[in-house]
Amino acid sequence: MGISEILVTGGAGFIGSHLVDQLVDLNHKVTVVDNFSTGKRSNLSKSESQIRIVDLDISGSYGTLTTILKDNYSAIFHLACHPRQHCFKDPWRDVDVNVKSTISILELALRNKAKVLYSSNSGIYGVGEGRLPIDETFSDAPTTPYDVHKLASEHEIQVYNKTYGIPAIIFRFATVYGPRQMPTPNWKPVIAEFTDRLLRGESPDIWGDGESTRDFIYVSDIVNALISALNVETDVQPIILSTNHEVSINSIYNMVNTIISSNIKPNYSEAKPGEIRRMLLDNSRAKKILGWTPKVDVENGLRKVVEWTRSEKKAS
């Protein structure tokens, strides 16, 4: 499809900024919407001179959104979200950002006749009916408000597709990691947190016994899948983006420790509510529909994260 203008919500965030950089490298015209609550303007430094940045809370009224965003968008990547780890503490904010904003984006897409590419969450599958790997035929069994609200947005997209014919693709991500993913006091993605703390010579926390597993996928693999979807026609059933490999939190910790040449022991704490014990996701459908396959294995991905984090600490 020919792209005249692409909108990226959450474009200053970890995944969004990598997507923006790649879109600019491919000579697309890009508008970024972000309220910089978790995203950073510095994440856009590579592309800032070539994009339009709109400082806007995407959960605001649709009237405000359409007044500010007047361009003729052909595609909208909707990545903006309220982080999963805050959903029990502030479920109302989670609704505003993770449900209401999707309706606004769909209305904007309807006005622009734009394609919507939505970033959802594999946590919607819950424990995966007690068997692995999980694929798109599994039943939905959300365990947190975040997962419920992501699922609600998926249904909204499906309704708009059926009612108005809006082209859309829904992605359910595995656990994404990579450069620009930095821990904050309120957000501690496991790989970023391990790397940051160990480079400081500090002992990180592991919630539970560390034998919980995740399917960790490197950010560039996610971005490549998202961009490939611009030219793919498909239904609006979810597509899993994963590596199809399961790795324990303890294994990740040990690999990061080895890469850094550290022997620091972690602190083990009680597991958090709603946490999923094991996660392994089948990416067969993504490979078939997108002609895509992940390229970065977890050990090389961790080395890239350590290298980037070290360079950031030297720069600061």
Q: What is the CATH number of the domain that holds 254?
A: 3.90.25.10
Judgement on whether residues 272 and 154 belong to the same structural domain of the protein: no
Q: What is the pLDDT of residues 156-205, one digit of tens each?
A: 999 999 999 999 999 999 999 999 998 877 778 999 999 999 999 999 99
Point out the catalytic residue in the list 73, 118, 125, 146: 146
Judgement on whether residues 209 and 119 belong to the same structural domain of the protein: no
Q: Is pLDDT above 90 for 316?
A: no
Q: Is residue 182 part of a domain?
A: no
CATH number, domain of 45, equals 3.40.50.720
Judgement on whether residues 79 and 226 belong to the same structural domain of the protein: yes
Cα 82 vs. chain centroid, distance in angstroms? 11
Judgement on whether residues 105 and 24 belong to the same structural domain of the protein: yes
Q: Is pLDDT above 60 for 2?
A: no
Active site residue 146: yes
Contact 133/280 with Cβ under 8 angstroms?
yes
How far apart CA 81 and CA 124 sit, in angstroms, is 15
Q: Is residue 83 part of a domain?
A: yes
Q: Is residue 252 part of a domain?
A: yes
Judgement on whether residues 207 and 254 belong to the same structural domain of the protein: yes
Q: Is residue 184 part of a domain?
A: no
Count of structural domains within the chain: 2
Contact 216/205 with Cβ under 8 angstroms?
no
Residue 62: its pLDDT value, please? 66
Q: Is residue 22 part of a domain?
A: yes
Closest CA to 35 of 14, 11, 16: 11
Parent domain of 252: 190-213+246-279+299-315
Q: What is the pLDDT of residues 227-284, one digit of tens each?
A: 999 999 877 999 999 999 999 999 999 999 999 999 999 999 988 776 778 899 999 9
Judgement on whether residues 239 and 270 belong to the same structural domain of the protein: no
Closest CA to 87 of 141, 142, 140: 142
